[in-house]
Structure 1
Amino acid sequence: MTEKAYLQKIEEHKGIILKVVNLYADDLEDRKDLYQEIVFQSWSAYERFEGNAKFSTWLYRISLNVALTYLNKRKKASSIKENTFPEISSEPKELSEQADFLYRAIKQLAEIDRSIIMLHLDGFDNTEISEMMGLSKTNTNVKLHRIKQQLTTILNKK
């Protein structure tokens, strides 16, 4: 695939990246860095994309792995010298009050739990979630149930 075709795919699915970035990075500079790192890492891995899964599923997995690595290392991603990849806008998109409330609640969860609930909220079924996260379906079901209970508790406190 050419770089132009790849960038078009990224543009079509940038909402996936933005969701991950907003859940795993707090300030604007970290969000920009994480966004760029996800785009860069997905471009690097794209030649291995076999098409066995949907592009969106593959991109979610890459995005989550990069975000979790980014968080664990707590390092700023090095900036890309050639500005050939799309950039996140300098102004973060305003969320509705309810969406912002939910995002803040989700950010209180453990890193893996954030990934699971985000995928669930985006309509992935438990089988797809378990495959993306490398968990058994039973473990995914149990985790999802516990995550929902945690979120209920967090949301009811506010």
Structure 2
Amino acid sequence: MTEKAYLQKIEEHKGIILKVVNLYADDFEDRKDLYQEIVLQSWSAYSRFEGKAKFSTWLYRISLNVALTFLSKRKKANQIKESTTLQEHIAFELAELSERADFLYRAIKQLAEIDRSIIMLHLDGFDNTEISEMMGLSKGNTTVKLHRIKQQLTTILTQK
């Protein structure tokens, strides 16, 4: 695939990257860096994309792996900064979220990293089988985790 065709695919599925970036990076610079890293890593890996899964599923997997690696590097370097609200960086294209979505994102950010991934995939319409395949979990484990995540979110969202 040519670079132009690849960039068109990325533009079509930009929402996937934005969701991952907004859930795994807290401030303006980190979101920008993570977005660029996801695009770069997905371009590097694209030659190995076999088309066995949908492009969106493949891009989710790449995005999540890059985000988790990004977090790991930040933690090791002790460079994690205090959370900032998305409203502080509203000028940045990646933070253009509605107030309700921002509230939900903040609640989701309080979850464990793996739980964030699972609920994000669920909210985007993936079924438990697809989520379990993407996350490398059994379907039963995914179902139980998803139920517990929903309970956690309910608790978080009703406390405010």
TM-score by length of 1: 0.89
Q: 1:96 aligns with which of 81, 98, 103?
A: 98
2:116 maps to 114
Q: Which has the higher helix share?
A: 2
Shift of 1:93: 3.7
Is the 8 Å Cα contact of residues 31 and 94 (structure 2) preserved in structure 1? no
Identical-residue share of aligned pairs (%): 88
1:146 maps to 148
* 2:47 alignment partner, SS class: helix
Quick one: distance in 2 between partners of 1:39 and 1:26? Answer: 18
Quick one: distance in 2 between partners of 1:133 and 1:156? Answer: 28
CA offsets, 1:120-149, max 9 Å, x none?
Answer: 000000000000001110110010000000
Shift of 1:114: 0.3
* 1:34 alignment partner, SS class: helix
**Change beyond 3 A, Cα 1:111–1:100:** same
* 1:135 alignment partner, SS class: coil
- AA aligned opposite 1:26: D
Shift of 1:99: 1.0
Quick one: distance in 1 between partners of 2:36 and 2:18? Answer: 11
Quick one: distance in 1 between partners of 2:47 and 2:136? Answer: 22
Quick one: distance in 2 between partners of 1:156 and 1:15? Answer: 27
Q: Which runs of 4+ in 1 moved over 3 A?
A: 89-93
1:131 maps to 133
Structure 1 residue 70 corresponds to structure 2 residue 91: no
Quick one: distance in 2 between partners of 1:91 and 1:53? Answer: 29
Quick one: distance in 2 between partners of 1:90 and 1:102? Answer: 19
Structure 1 segments unaligned to the other structure (5+ residues): 77-88
Is the 8 Å Cα contact of residues 18 and 94 (structure 2) preserved in structure 1? no
Shift of 1:100: 1.0
- AA aligned opposite 2:121: L
- AA aligned opposite 1:149: Q
- AA aligned opposite 1:136: S
TM-score by length of 2: 0.88
Shift of 1:115: 0.4
Cα root mean square deviation, aligned: 1.4
**Change beyond 3 A, Cα 1:157–1:17:** same
Quick one: distance in 1 between partners of 2:7 and 2:23? Answer: 23
Shift of 1:97: 1.8
